[in-house]
Structure 1
Amino acid sequence: MSDTFSTRSQLHVNGKTYAYASLPKLGERFDISHLPWSMKILLENLLRHEDGGITVGPEHIEAVARWNPAAEPDTEIAFMPARVVLQDFTGVPCVVDLAAMRDAVVKLGGDAEQINPLIPSELVIDHSVQVDVFGRADALDLNGKIEFERNRERYSFLRWGQKAFGNFKVVPPNTGIVHQVNLENLARVVMEREVDGTLWAFPDTVFGTDSHTTMINGIGVLGWGVGGIEAEAAMLGQPSSMLIPQVVGFKLTGRLPEGATATDLVLTVTQMLRELGVVGKFVEFYGDGLQHLPLADRATIGNMAPEYGATCGIFPIDAESLNYLRLSGRSEEQIALVEAYARAQGLWHTPDSPHAQYSATLELDMGEVQPSLAGPKRPQDRVLLGDMKQAYRQAVAPLAAARDRRSPEVADFIAEGGTAAVGNDGLSKGVAHIEIDGQPIKLKDGAVVIAAITSCTNTSNPAVMVGAGLLARNAAARGLKRQPWVKTSLGPGSRVVTDYLAKAGLLDELEKVGFYVVGYGCTTCIGNSGPLPLEVSAGIAAGDLVVTSVLSGNRNFEGRIHPEVKMNYLASPPLVVAYALAGTTDIDLTREPLGTGSDGQPVYLRDIWPSSKEIGDVIAATIGPEMFKQNYADVFKGDSRWARIESPEGQAYQWNADSTYIKNPPYFDGMTMQVGSIGDIFGARVLGLFGDSITTDHISPAGNIKKDSPAGRFLQSRGVQPADFNSYGSRRGNDDVMVRGTFANIRIKNLFFGGEEGGNTLYFGVQPPQKMSIYDAAMKYKADGVPLVVIAGKEYGTGSSRDWAAKGTNLLGVKAVIAESFERIHRSNLVGMGVLPLQFQAGENAQTLGLDGTESFDVTGLDDGKAKLATVTATRADGTRRSFQAHVLLLTPKEVEYFRNGGLLQYVLRQLAAKKAA
């Protein structure tokens, strides 16, 4: 380690002596008092990793120290996180890649043991449990049994990984959601580590293979979501290249009013920041309001940084941070280290701390926050509770009209237990009549068929969870319960949540209105909502109804929650309960009753909404450190089901050729030590022509696997029955399945076919062009030796940090994506997988350039990655051409090197093999 600026110092705490890179000492050379809190964390990271300029030199440190808040990012720095957190959907392919890299590095002359995490890497299994069973006392047990049966092979593989890799731990299923486990247990806030015989203290920073890693920002830990390939590189000791970011300051004043929740606050913040535009930027929260904002509320705001588009949404370390560490059972020694280090570094925040200079600022008086939802398909589309009925009707009108045009006359449908006819009173031609448990039901457009208390965003927050329990108690006392067509579920973020709800007597109250615990995982928020009851599903199909879900999640993109549910609304847990009682979103809960009580009188939401004082009193009486200590005492041990899973031994994984879950991927096939070059692209065809806001949910395989899809046909050819398909997420360790599901989302719209939904394209290898699935066309093009491009609009790749959105794109043969703008993580992932991101120049897109996707494309002038602009030439069928310039989004020299190597993992492999050879 170099120390150009002589910042190495000592800190004495807990009877130990720590070395640390002193920011105050650097402040003697540069005025860093104006730097945002998060920028100081980056600065410390550079000081500690200075290595004579190989990766970090004094010029990088000086660039951050002299940061200009108004400047556009143009300086590259290298950032090395202290640890990595993974969830199982993204973690399994990470471990698959590491296992494959062990095989590959041996072939290149290295040792298998060279492929080993060099920093703490922890995987939490939380994405696999599905809501197969609900509304009954044994739902948790039955869903757990089904989960283990479905995922035994994946879990066996992860148990092998835990034994084979050093610095790698697995939190078994049935424990909690990764971000909540991270907040409640894994986060250190300040790390300690011995390096070359010296004990160091430094800030806890983290990369996570899930967008909502930013939840940890709430406790003062700088971290954000990255793709699996970038996380793997960090695990292997490779720094992440990034441009020095702009930092937006968000000033919070006042406090939340009676009746408003942290969910309402974060939906307001999300809307404001989306309107400002913070993609690729850091957001930092400050102001007098912080003293009135509990840690759980801060975590809620940090969690949704991907929804407002920022890299992170961070809060400083202060007394509230220490309160939470103590509440969650951290040791007094760790708490003392956090406080001593933060104070020594000038990172300790008090209400009168001067705020930094920012690239831009926003301000919100929290006293103005009102109860809200967001939807029906984007988390930034906030709707006031009092406007929901009108907003719903405006959103459903075009869907209902399109439905009515498709089927002006629909015959009665004989559903199980009853008949169903199309329509909705006042909006279309009728209703769907079904029967549930012998009760005739009139199902309409707007019916809430899923009401889920789920997701890390809100299940980590005691105020909204206790609020939901108290509202349920009050509703049950008035004789209300869920409507029979509503699939209700309670997915606590950790077992601590269940404990305090049970201690407060609120778990029973939630069950009275239909909310039984279904599992400890993300469930509905990531599409693991499970099947709807047969009668409800039949009614939706018969009437072609536009039904809705209400969930306490953070994502509601099209096709994500459930394939039969077209409109999805995000809401606080108490509002989720309220809409389950009402059974419809076609209602104004501020004016209309939820239902009729047992006394025959109407019951309004205002009648049963708990007060902030009552919620606070319950929290104070029920939650304490002992709950956290008990639940996390053996967090890596797991239950008896986990203990019974057999797993192989050895440093190299023994691949099973018959497996449809785990497969050695083809990324390193035929790889040598020879580094390639970045060549121009000629004669490429368009695989997909897309509009704006194509999310990773549209691109990456997610949710259910349909039996007539390419992936479904493949699985059946391997002897897997549709009942055993499981989800795409669970099969991310098998590239044969995943490549067939890329761009296969039922809601994606290839503009070749106007507004038609589904993962199809035109294959131009025959005349006339033939319509077929995107996968089938891609394989034909691959056989023809024809490269492919994707053309898209704004915000390409928004959503979850799914590396398969890039991996699948690569394996389909796509060489470049040309879009108006990219989401940060997805652009990075494309580069890491050797797919070139190109951006239209300002004011240009496919439409303004007259491109319809029938052309063939040449991309020239790349100059082995040195070019900032490339020339794209589109040749039409009649031979006429249209040329335009596009920005080459290889943003740093390191990204150019990755691309020359064919991808980030290939670069790392060659580096490690070269070290062995030397």
Structure 2
Amino acid sequence: MRYHRRSFKQAPPSLANRTYAMAAADPFKARDTFQTKSGEYALYRLSRLEEAGLTTVSKLPYSVRVLLESLLRNCDDYVVSQDDVKNLAGWNKTRGANPVELPFKPARVVLQDFTGVPCVVDLAAMRSAMKRLGGDPNRINPLNPVDLVIDHSVQVDHYLGAGALDFNIEMEFERNQERYEFLRWGQKAFDNFRVVPPGTGIVHQVNLEYLAKCVFVRDGVVLPDSLVGTDSHTTMIDGLGVVGWGVGGIEAEGVMLGQPIYMLTPEVVGMELTGKLPAGATATDLVLTVTEILRKQKVVGKFVEFYGAGVSSMSLADRATIANMSPEYGATMGFFPVDDGTLEYLRQTGRTAEEIDLVERYCKENQLFRTDDAPAPEFSSTVELDLATVVPSLAGPKRPQDRIPLAAMKPQWRKDLIEVYEKGCVSTPAKWEGEGGQPIDPEGAASPAAAVAVSDPGFDGIHVENAGSTFQLHHGSVVIAAITSCTNTSNPSVMVAAGLVAKKAAAVGLQAKPWVKTSIAPGSRVVTDYYEKSGLDKELAKVGFYTVGYGCTTCIGNSGPLPAPISAAIREHDLVVAGVLSGNRNFEGRINPDVKANYLASPPLVVAYALAGTTDIDFASEPIGEGDSGPVYLKDLWPTQQEVQQVVKACVLPEMFEEQYGDVWEKNPKWNALPITGGELYDWQPGSTYIQEPPFLATLTEEVLPIAPIAGARCLALLGDSVTTDHISPAGAIAKDSPAGRFLMNAGVEPVDFNSYGARRGNDRVMTRGTFANIRIRNQLAPGTEGGVTKHLGSDEVMPIYDAAMKYIKEGTPLVVLAGAEYGTGSSRDWAAKGTYLLGVRAVLAASYERIHRSNLVMMGVLPLQFEEGTTWQSLGLTGEETFAIPDLGDSLKPLQTITVQADGKTFPMKVRIDTPVELDYYRHGGILAFVVRKLLKEG
């Protein structure tokens, strides 16, 4: 709410009064009624704005129409002004080029447990703070519907055999019982808050298949479904015509507590799709192509909306696959409007006839329904893709936008082995040799198999014995092959294709290589249903792929340990081994600490690489393996589109969705058996290593302190380009020799019980110690090192970042971080900002920011500053060893103001990346949590 425009002491109307004011005000006379099969409902017609001469609805992108409907429906001249409505209605005049602030009120919030637990911890802490300040703790309560899906806590400990699933579930509950008991408390303590139990599926797939409705009815008014979520891949729901994107946990908490999302008018890039996918190409290949194209188009912070005849040729699942990877191509969201394909998917997934009728009639009544003959909207800019040009592809070895055509994979792998991983003949001018020693260009090589890396002793293989098998591990050996992640497990076509590859492989006697850790982690139990009906579960098991859990596993770093002999060989000989996963993220250090090279691929290609056991293969000319009757090639195993669709049509049935999601809240008996303790306040346990009251509000006062200049600051980390939140935020395994590991051992926790950082996100003591501690981060203040270390300026001692930060805090020294371009790209992890704040960092100085991380820094009271275009810390000659001052900070600070930074005699301008007035209020209050508590306290 726009409290920055009014006296903070002025109390807003109650929620009930605000709702009444919204319905009663209707300044544009937009409220009307319409008929459905289930009766009469109200709506707010966009056409009334056109009748008033404010817009031409048909020219607006559909995504903008959804935002405009929200403003129109909520226009009360208090939270949403008439000017807000008019500004967005006039979008076509500027097409987002002259952005203004807009208050968007999503219909709901979705959380997953890694990011959701700290949200609930913060809500519990806000209740405790409210009590300490003499207020009513029950004022801290979600006002918008919130669904939390527990999906990020299952780990691939066991992977072979039918018992792997039950074992991993047992381990999940054993490791996470305290977290789960806390969430059970939250489910009881907070209104408007539901929890989908463990073992159901991945949040985005559950959202797509069940939670999303396309439209909602509130007080007799029909409105478009919309949401924000605490996972960046919330965007998957855009494929269903539902506006949604990822936000930080602290931003989501604001929406939960009734705050709008304050955003700037979006630019909308239209991507026209034509044609159809060719034989052999999958939805995964399509999305990797889209990601590569749109990343080059620089769509960061923009909406992307898909249009054109090619949209109608795509299944809804294919659309959701593309929408899912919006964070990878940098867009706020990738939107597909509601159309006939949406309605067909709703029928396929067991939604009721009444629900589907309501979606169709409302969207057509309010010009939110796309048809092939409708004129294309006007966009800020456009880009085209002919689907017929898509070829089988992978992406890697470190970034999802680095697409590699399958035909070029072998030479690209060998090139990266030398140039990225510095294995082989890195000093000679000709890094590549063909037959006869002639240099060749791997990117243009007609025969990729001709390229070889030379002069690396590890390339000849390392002898390993494991589980009764003896084999050679090489650079490029595939040690993880995982069908995982919401990107693909929600898509029956690629999941069935993987099963058919396995079926054909099993028929000729092929199996996954013994050094490959294989796994299937379906995004919902419906996948298992159609695998069982088709018999493909048994075929996958024959080649080594078993279901290991229902949740986000390998893609989030829950790949589990490799077998000890394999891990030891990799570490002892510094082998560059590979993971191939059907995921959306492959950043350094994310998948597994032993696996440096990771490639995103379709589920059938995951199976293929498990059968081959190496990335050093040309599937076009080399056999994937030796079958019962001789060499077998990938073309012998690859299913046709007709074969795939026959299985999908026969085996993916609406009753499966109805059965799996009927009474989903009570289906897990282990969840139901967890005890519930506590009342309106959570009973914090001082000895807990999972759940602790965070210090953000521990000393909160009613008064707001003035904004103060920063002086005498030192640099904690000096970072290059593309430092992601995976580098910043604690994730994955906890090393026993790390500050977090030592803390846990001092608390009596054995290394075997460390669990992961993600599982301990409710304990700031662990998470702060893991911030900037990624094993692959390179802090240039400590050159030649890798991992979370820095040089403490003053003593010049190299030490863990956490230890240095604590030393600076003890000395009373404020800190800054210097970074390059695209700082904070990656998942929307609130701990990347929370940990930064708790380490004592007051400001970040970067060349550019990823949208969510910049916002999260502001919401934690950390100042994001951006160098002028073309300027970097390197071009300014900064070393990070300077003493920094920001003297211009004060209560007169304005959004996007240019201020002066001083560093040992050097003075340079930087833009304040506090983008909106409400963000300035968050910063002024020391973060959004303090802002909301003070606001509710003043309301009484």
Paired residue for 2:303, among 282, 292, 304? 282
Deviation at 1:108, TM superposition (A): 2.4
Paired residue for 1:603, among 620, 632, 635? 632
Question: Equivalent residue for 2:472?
Answer: 442
Distance 1:332 1:62 in 2: 36
Paired residue for 2:275, among 248, 254, 257? 254
Asked if the contact 1:476–1:512 (Cα under 8 Å) also holds between the matched residues in 2, the reply is: yes
Aligned to 1:686, what secondary structure does the other structure show?
Answer: strand
Question: Bigger shift: 28-37 or 688-697?
Answer: 28-37
Structure 1's unaligned 5+ residue stretches are 407-422
Asked if the contact 1:748–1:759 (Cα under 8 Å) also holds between the matched residues in 2, the reply is: yes
Aligned to 1:636, what secondary structure does the other structure show?
Answer: helix
CA 1:470–1:559 in structure 2 vs 1: closer, same or farther (change >3 Å)? same
Distance 1:830 1:73 in 2: 24
Paired residue for 1:720, among 733, 749, 752? 749
Distance 2:218 2:579 in 1: 46
Aligned to 2:379, what secondary structure does the other structure show?
Answer: coil
Question: Equivalent residue for 2:448?
Answer: none
Deviation at 1:297, TM superposition (A): 0.2
Q: TM-score, normalised by structure 1?
A: 0.95
1:364 aligns to 2:375 (yes or no): no
Aligned to 2:803, what secondary structure does the other structure show?
Answer: helix
Aligned to 2:695, what secondary structure does the other structure show?
Answer: coil
In structure 2, give the amino acid aligned to 1:792: A
Paired residue for 1:191, among 216, 219, 222? 216
Paired residue for 1:560, among 568, 590, 603? 590
Asked if the contact 1:85–1:206 (Cα under 8 Å) also holds between the matched residues in 2, the reply is: yes
Alignment of 1:147-186 (within 5 A): 147-186=172-211
Question: Equivalent residue for 1:900?
Answer: 924
Asked if the contact 1:861–1:870 (Cα under 8 Å) also holds between the matched residues in 2, the reply is: no
Asked if the contact 1:861–1:867 (Cα under 8 Å) also holds between the matched residues in 2, the reply is: no
Question: Equivalent residue for 1:417?
Answer: none
Asked if the contact 1:374–1:571 (Cα under 8 Å) also holds between the matched residues in 2, the reply is: yes
Question: Equivalent residue for 1:650?
Answer: 679
CA 1:236–1:867 in structure 2 vs 1: closer, same or farther (change >3 Å)? closer
Deviation at 1:188, TM superposition (A): 1.1
Paired residue for 2:651, among 613, 622, 633? 622
Question: Equivalent residue for 1:419?
Answer: none
Paired residue for 1:350, among 366, 371, 379? 371
Question: Equivalent residue for 1:411?
Answer: none
Asked if the contact 2:235–2:244 (Cα under 8 Å) also holds between the matched residues in 1, the reply is: yes
Deviation at 1:73, TM superposition (A): 4.2
CA deviation digits over 1:527-586, x for unaligned, max 9? 000000111111112211000000000000000000110000000000000000000001
In structure 2, give the amino acid aligned to 1:9: D
Distance 1:405 1:596 in 2: 34
Paired residue for 1:24, among 41, 47, 52? 47
Aligned to 1:890, what secondary structure does the other structure show?
Answer: coil
Question: Equivalent residue for 1:9?
Answer: 32
Paired residue for 1:883, among 907, 921, 933? 907
1:812 aligns to 2:839 (yes or no): yes
Q: What number of residue pairs does the alignment pair up?
A: 888
Question: Equivalent residue for 1:202?
Answer: 223
Asked if the contact 1:425–1:431 (Cα under 8 Å) also holds between the matched residues in 2, the reply is: no
Paired residue for 1:512, among 533, 536, 542? 542
Aligned to 1:667, what secondary structure does the other structure show?
Answer: helix
CA deviation digits over 1:818-852, x for unaligned, max 9? 00000000000000000000000011101100001
Question: Equivalent residue for 1:120?
Answer: 145
Asked if the contact 1:678–1:863 (Cα under 8 Å) also holds between the matched residues in 2, the reply is: yes
Question: Bigger shift: 780-789 or 584-593?
Answer: 584-593
Asked if the contact 1:21–1:47 (Cα under 8 Å) also holds between the matched residues in 2, the reply is: yes
Question: Equivalent residue for 1:866?
Answer: 894
Deviation at 1:405, TM superposition (A): 10
Question: Equivalent residue for 1:418?
Answer: none
Distance 2:308 2:874 in 1: 44
Asked if the contact 2:158–2:548 (Cα under 8 Å) also holds between the matched residues in 1, the reply is: yes
In structure 1, give the amino acid aligned to 2:192: N
In structure 2, give the amino acid aligned to 1:432: I
In structure 2, give the amino acid aligned to 1:121: V
Aligned to 1:558, what secondary structure does the other structure show?
Answer: coil
Distance 1:489 1:825 in 2: 31
Asked if the contact 1:871–1:883 (Cα under 8 Å) also holds between the matched residues in 2, the reply is: no
1:781 aligns to 2:805 (yes or no): no
Deviation at 1:875, TM superposition (A): 3.6
Distance 2:895 2:734 in 1: 41
In structure 1, give the amino acid aligned to 2:510: L
CA deviation digits over 1:156-205, x for unaligned, max 9? 000111111111000000000000000000001001112xxxx1110000
Deviation at 1:10, TM superposition (A): 1.3
Distance 2:210 2:175 in 1: 28
Using the aligned pairs only, state the percent identity. Answer: 59
Distance 1:14 1:674 in 2: 55
Alignment of 1:835-850 (within 5 A): 835-850=862-877
Question: Equivalent residue for 1:545?
Answer: 575
Asked if the contact 2:96–2:268 (Cα under 8 Å) also holds between the matched residues in 1, the reply is: no
CA deviation digits over 1:620-645, x for unaligned, max 9? 11111100000001211132211221
Deviation at 1:399, TM superposition (A): 5.2
CA 1:335–1:693 in structure 2 vs 1: closer, same or farther (change >3 Å)? same
Distance 1:118 1:584 in 2: 52
Deviation at 1:590, TM superposition (A): 1.9
Paired residue for 1:89, among 99, 102, 114? 114
Paired residue for 1:753, among 756, 777, 782? 782
Alignment of 1:631-670 (within 5 A): 631-670=660-699
Question: Equivalent residue for 1:739?
Answer: 768
Question: Equivalent residue for 2:403?
Answer: 382
Alignment of 1:196-345 (within 5 A): 199-345=220-366
1:822 aligns to 2:843 (yes or no): no
Asked if the contact 1:404–1:428 (Cα under 8 Å) also holds between the matched residues in 2, the reply is: no
Paired residue for 2:76, among 40, 51, 56? 51
Asked if the contact 2:425–2:454 (Cα under 8 Å) also holds between the matched residues in 1, the reply is: no
Aligned to 1:202, what secondary structure does the other structure show?
Answer: strand
Structure 2's unaligned 5+ residue stretches are 1-21, 428-451
Distance 2:557 2:469 in 1: 29
Question: Equivalent residue for 1:39?
Answer: 64
CA 1:483–1:699 in structure 2 vs 1: closer, same or farther (change >3 Å)? same
Deviation at 1:751, TM superposition (A): 1.0
Deviation at 1:424, TM superposition (A): 8.8
Question: Equivalent residue for 1:678?
Answer: 707
Deviation at 1:669, TM superposition (A): 1.4
Asked if the contact 2:690–2:761 (Cα under 8 Å) also holds between the matched residues in 1, the reply is: yes
Deviation at 1:3, TM superposition (A): 1.7
Distance 1:371 1:15 in 2: 46
In structure 2, give the amino acid aligned to 1:134: Y
In structure 1, give the amino acid aligned to 2:114: F
Deviation at 1:404, TM superposition (A): 9.3
- Provide the aligned C-alpha RMSD in A: 1.5
Distance 1:114 1:404 in 2: 65
Distance 2:94 2:466 in 1: 60
Distance 2:927 2:366 in 1: 38
CA 1:209–1:400 in structure 2 vs 1: closer, same or farther (change >3 Å)? closer
Paired residue for 2:880, among 853, 873, 876? 853
1:65 aligns to 2:89 (yes or no): yes
Aligned to 1:401, what secondary structure does the other structure show?
Answer: coil
Question: Equivalent residue for 2:937?
Answer: 913
CA deviation digits over 1:261-290, x for unaligned, max 9? 000000000000000000010000000011
Asked if the contact 2:208–2:237 (Cα under 8 Å) also holds between the matched residues in 1, the reply is: yes
Distance 1:466 1:59 in 2: 51
Distance 1:490 1:911 in 2: 47
Aligned to 1:805, what secondary structure does the other structure show?
Answer: helix
Question: Bigger shift: 318-327 or 567-576?
Answer: 318-327
